[in-house]
Structure 1
Amino acid sequence: MVSCNDYLDVTPESVWESDSFYSNQQEAEIALAGIYGVIAHDSAYGQGLILLNAGADEDYYNRRANENWGVSLFRNTQSDDESFNLWTNQYKAINLTNLFLESLNRSSIESDEVYNALVAEARFLRALCYFNLSNFWEEIPLRLSSSKSQGDNNEPAAALLDIYNAIVADFTFASENLSHPADATYVPGRAHKLAAHGLLARVYLKMSGYPLKENYYENVIAHCEAIINDGYHGLTLGDGTNGYRKLFLDIIGGTYNPREVLFEISFQNLRDQGIFDTHGRYGSLNGLNFGSSANLGEPNGYSQAGVYPTLAGIYDRTNDARYDWNIPSYKRTADGDITTIKDELNIRDFCPAKYRRWEPLDYADIFVEGTNESYVVLENSESELNRNFTSVNFPVLRYSDVLLMYAEADNALNSAPSSLAIQYLNEVRFRAGLDDISIVNPVVVSDKQLFFKELVDERSRELCFEGVRRHDLIRWELLDEKLSQVKNIVEGHPSFSASNADHQSILRGPNNFDINKHLSLPYPLIEVSINQALDQKDEWK
């Protein structure tokens, strides 16, 4: 993004016409900031992706009185608002990007280097949007030029390989022309070349799995190596095993952590620059329960996402520092008592803790009854806390993901993990306070399938609630198996009761899932009604 002064120096206009805009670099920067603002909206990274990414084996919609969050409950239809909102948001950003690329005048930019960097940033954002769309819908219309008339909307779904090739082309150009995050010209919060390499690795990993299932593992390794060998990025280590906590305290508090976070959606930063229509709800919708407070200035938590006991079950609860951070252990009641959460099937309290907006001032209060017990606000609280929206940033890509992607690709390519793959898995484990996997479980590092199963669990332990699990399970063709596992574990839980409506509500997703329909979303009804070239998928007609 650009500085506040950049905005103040420009005469406000209600509509920027393409033939009069982009007349200099400053206007181009403002246009790019506007595209960031679109994808940070409620429809996408602000809220929509919380709703759409739930429902795998990590978290679920926990309000049993209604069936909102339809995609997470696998009860969505062609008329589902949440998926339609993401569809329109991402195509809006894509159209703005296409307009930017068509309108940017080379002669108005000071150098080829700056011009190419501006183009690269726009293409990075377009690739990100197309990757989100293809993850949820698979084949989609591929629009690489701006819409100029209603007829331009009539675009059929492109072949999946064509979509991936377009995404790869955009991210590749970005990796070659964006600045390095260590450069003096780099602005924190914006795309950079190493983030493009990381997302290229993620794209190639997806292309290697369902539904394309081609072998691109060498490409994954190459782009991970570009980041690892560069040396700029690394894990946040903090003081010993507290590095994971420190990382998320930075993310929650709005502090940039460029060492580990390669790319994030920065809601507070966008609002600070005058882009007010950015709605982050991390820690509110999917955070720790703060009771039923309606008081302004308190770190309210709606806690609409419940944590499946399957996630809690894959942690070493004694030694893994991530367990205490990611899995809830306490809540605050309406009268201010901070108390423990003991029942994993308590749908109103057993909610994600990763993006917590608060924590007890004295953790001893968890174990004693009291009222109005003190807490600490973790969120950036320079301005009054908002009941609905938060300033908690969303990490799109972290360095630990790069290490785990390398390990996965290496294991798949070589039919067993190499020493580097084991090393990179261990780096993630060591930061969490765990011992060498080769010592703890030596059979895992000698077998391709066992190492893969370890990575399946490790990615969830490390990256839960960061918007990757649903897509991981789909590309691995494991979503059906993992949802069946959720059902078995919930029904086998000591506190489960078949007559308990709350417990039955936990099983809505696993019970509704149909592998013949729910690996991708239906095209929005409005889209297929307007787009005369797009036919609805057969399984959704």
Structure 2
Amino acid sequence: MKNFRIHILTLLFVSMAFSCSEDLLDVDNPNTPTVDQAWKTEKDAEMGINAAYNMFYKPSTWTRWIYFRYDLTSDEGHSTSPWGELADWTRFRYSNYNFWDGNNWHWRDFYKAIFRTNQVLAYVPTITFKDEATRDKILAQAKFIRALFYFQVAVLWETGPIVLDPSEPADEPEQRGEAEIWAQVEEDLLWAADKLPPTWDDANVGRATKGAAKALLARAYAQQKKWALAKAQLDWLVTGEGKGYYGLVDNYRDNFTHLNENNKESVFEIQFSDKNKGGDGDNLSASMGFQRTQFFAPGGIGWQDGKARAWLIDEYKKEKTKDGKNDPRLLNNIFYKDAYKDFPDAVANDTLVYNRRWDVGAWGNETFIKKYSTYYYRDREDYHAPNNFRFIRYADVLLLYAECLNETDQTAYAYQYVNLVRERPGTNLKKLEDAYPAIGNDKTLFRKRLQMERSLELCFEAVRWMDLKRWDLVTTQAGIEELKTRDVDFNNFVLGKHHRLPIPQIEVDNNTKLDQNTPY
């Protein structure tokens, strides 16, 4: 009887389909408007730019996998994941150029984000706005986001298409070199910085600002060793009009929890939330949680796919604070077995691991990444941490400013900006010149110490790989030899090859105008 009813209903629907007018079946889906239907109102423009921001919430970007490239591939971290291909991707063992999680997804989603910004830039100018300033702010945000993703293309692959208009499936955009990509980043950020506001109201906190555009542009200039241009952009944040918007918070830890977000040290911050616990798609219930914590936490609490290199602990302990204690940044950045010995005055939860004593049997002498973990309020991790990721911190700005000054022969003037970071009340280290008087005004010695200062302040914040490239440590044999002393994975590194990734092979196969990076 049940099967009979099914057959009857099937025949009924088939007969209805043949008897209906084709016009009745041609109904627009209000949830997926076409280009002709969309881009009519200011609300459409707002939704368009929000869709571009939404690309930050993909596993390939700043929720999860990007940290395997920027933190774990650098000398600060490593992977012992049982997923062999994932671990190998951080060890410079690239056998599958189509490894989705380590390569293809990055490329796909970076260009997907660029596609979304290109739509905004193409169609928003056709919309009538009540005032031009509102329109320009939307366009400036689109240029900022497009530049941010082209920045990643320049750092990771050094080559790729430059697509500036909404693309079509049959398009085969031409391959462009690193210099051309950087030039596009510069052009977009210069325009954005001119139009973006220095701050937003509470309802729009987290959107790109003038300071964010200038800081990102300074990073782009610095990567190309255009030191004077980089300094000129940072002037606005450090000594100019923007100085009043930024500063260092007293408590270093406040930069990495969900309890004091978007504070004065935040220059650009990716807004995460644990309110939605859905998947990673483009639907309204998609997750906006910070997922890296699940992958970096110790076993039994998370997946322990990413770990800290132990040399960092030794570096932190080489220098005492003004009151003779260990650098408190060590306690905030790394889980390790002897933390309770090194910080006897710390509250118990700070030297425990998610309220647990060190599991000698499971963790041994491992060192785990603590920064951004949620140990301070829960017992284990999941895929929905609420911590915002501080994409650019003011401490980074100050240290980069000092680097620009040193590289433009103003070493003596650079010390003060490093000291602002070192003497933060919650860090409490001596002035750089007092701790290392032998540096003096020696540009080379200052540069080398600044490299370590950046690591101790910014480790596990997705800047180390960018720094290693800027300092020529991955493009010279001397640099590789130095990195080998801190990270055995660099024994696999092939000079002239592994400083950039292979382009996903599927992209090369599908685009006749795209060549694989040599010597891959």
CA contact (8 A) 2:237 2:243 kept: yes
Alignment partner of 1:56 is 2:74: yes
Task: Assess, with a 3 A threshold, how the Cα gap between structure 1 residues 537 and 324 changes in structure 2: closer, same or farther.
Answer: same
Task: Assess, with a 3 A threshold, how the Cα gap between structure 1 residues 337 and 398 changes in structure 2: closer, same or farther.
Answer: closer
**Distance in 1 separating the partners of 2:363 and 2:480:** 19
Match of 2:511 in 1: 531
CA contact (8 A) 2:295 2:304 kept: yes
Alignment partner of 1:218 is 2:228: yes
Report the structure number with the largest CA radius of gyration.
2
**Distance in 2 separating the partners of 1:335 and 1:443:** 39
**Distance in 2 separating the partners of 1:391 and 1:26:** 28
**Distance in 1 separating the partners of 2:60 and 2:461:** 17
For the residue of structure 2 that corresponds to 1:280, the secondary structure is coil
Task: Assess, with a 3 A threshold, how the Cα gap between structure 1 residues 487 and 397 changes in structure 2: closer, same or farther.
Answer: same
Q: CA deviation at 1:177?
A: 0.5
Q: CA deviation at 1:34?
A: 1.3
Which of the numbers 103, 107, 110 marks the counterpart of 2:130? 110
Match of 2:194 in 1: 176
Task: Assess, with a 3 A threshold, how the Cα gap between structure 1 residues 537 and 335 changes in structure 2: closer, same or farther.
Answer: closer
Match of 2:37 in 1: 20
**Distance in 1 separating the partners of 2:444 and 2:205:** 39
Q: 4+ residue stretches of structure 1 with deviation over 6 A?
A: 334-337
Q: CA deviation at 1:472?
A: 0.8
Task: Assess, with a 3 A threshold, how the Cα gap between structure 1 residues 66 and 322 changes in structure 2: closer, same or farther.
Answer: same
**Distance in 1 separating the partners of 2:401 and 2:329:** 21
**Distance in 2 separating the partners of 1:246 and 1:98:** 35
In the TM superposition, what are the counterparts of 1:5-404 in structure 2 within 5 Å?
13-53=30-70, 54-63=72-81, 66-76=84-94, 77-81=96-100, 82-150=102-170, 152=171, 154-181=172-199, 183-184=200-201, 187-208=204-225, 216-228=226-238, 229=240, 230-238=242-250, 243-248=251-256, 252-253=257-258, 255-268=260-273, 271=276, 274=284, 276-287=286-297, 289=298, 291-292=299-300, 300-316=301-317, 318-319=320-321, 320-329=327-336, 338-340=356-358, 349-359=366-376, 376-377=377-378, 387-404=382-399
- Unaligned segments of structure 2, at least 5 residues: 1-27, 278-282, 322-326, 340-348
Match of 2:416 in 1: 423
Question: Could you report, residue by residue, the CA deviation over 1:296-351 in whole angstroms, capped at 9, with x for unpaired residues?
Answer: xxxx422211111222232246432211111213599x9997224899x9678411
For the residue of structure 2 that corresponds to 1:191, the secondary structure is coil
Q: CA deviation at 1:145?
A: 0.9
For the residue of structure 1 that corresponds to 2:90, the secondary structure is helix
CA contact (8 A) 2:336 2:366 kept: no
**Distance in 1 separating the partners of 2:335 and 2:52:** 35
- Which letter does structure 1 place at the counterpart of 2:504? P
Match of 1:449 in 2: 444
CA contact (8 A) 1:233 1:399 kept: no
**Distance in 2 separating the partners of 1:335 and 1:429:** 27
Instruction: Give the superposed CA RMSD.
Output: 3.0
**Distance in 2 separating the partners of 1:14 and 1:165:** 37
**Distance in 2 separating the partners of 1:304 and 1:226:** 40
- Which letter does structure 1 place at the counterpart of 2:497? K
For the residue of structure 2 that corresponds to 1:73, the secondary structure is coil
**Distance in 1 separating the partners of 2:478 and 2:456:** 18
For the residue of structure 1 that corresponds to 2:332, the secondary structure is helix
Q: CA deviation at 1:522?
A: 0.8
**Distance in 1 separating the partners of 2:359 and 2:49:** 44
Q: CA deviation at 1:160?
A: 2.0
* Worse-superposed segment, 479-488 or 426-435: 479-488
Q: CA deviation at 1:279?
A: 4.9
Alignment partner of 1:471 is 2:466: yes
**Distance in 2 separating the partners of 1:246 and 1:278:** 21
CA contact (8 A) 2:266 2:392 kept: yes
**Distance in 2 separating the partners of 1:125 and 1:335:** 37
Q: CA deviation at 1:107?
A: 4.2
TM value normalised by structure 1: 0.79
Task: Assess, with a 3 A threshold, how the Cα gap between structure 1 residues 321 and 348 changes in structure 2: closer, same or farther.
Answer: closer
Alignment partner of 1:413 is 2:408: yes
- Which letter does structure 1 place at the counterpart of 2:408? L
Q: CA deviation at 1:66?
A: 2.5
Q: CA deviation at 1:235?
A: 3.6
**Distance in 2 separating the partners of 1:12 and 1:130:** 33
Q: CA deviation at 1:99?
A: 1.4
For the residue of structure 1 that corresponds to 2:307, the secondary structure is strand
For the residue of structure 2 that corresponds to 1:108, the secondary structure is coil
**Distance in 2 separating the partners of 1:27 and 1:341:** 53
Q: CA deviation at 1:106?
A: 4.5
CA contact (8 A) 1:411 1:451 kept: yes
Question: Could you report, residue by residue, the CA deviation over 1:424-455 in whole angstroms, capped at 9, with x for unpaired residues?
Answer: 00001111210111112122232101100011
- Which letter does structure 2 place at the counterpart of 1:327? I
CA contact (8 A) 1:198 1:223 kept: yes
**Distance in 2 separating the partners of 1:478 and 1:347:** 31
**Distance in 2 separating the partners of 1:94 and 1:518:** 25
**Distance in 2 separating the partners of 1:20 and 1:69:** 46
Over the matched positions of the two proteins, sequence identity in percent amounts to 27
Q: CA deviation at 1:143?
A: 0.6
For the residue of structure 2 that corresponds to 1:113, the secondary structure is helix
Number of paired residues? Answer: 462
Task: Assess, with a 3 A threshold, how the Cα gap between structure 1 residues 305 and 386 changes in structure 2: closer, same or farther.
Answer: closer
Task: Assess, with a 3 A threshold, how the Cα gap between structure 1 residues 196 and 186 changes in structure 2: closer, same or farther.
Answer: farther
**Distance in 2 separating the partners of 1:301 and 1:483:** 32
CA contact (8 A) 2:274 2:288 kept: no
**Distance in 1 separating the partners of 2:440 and 2:366:** 37
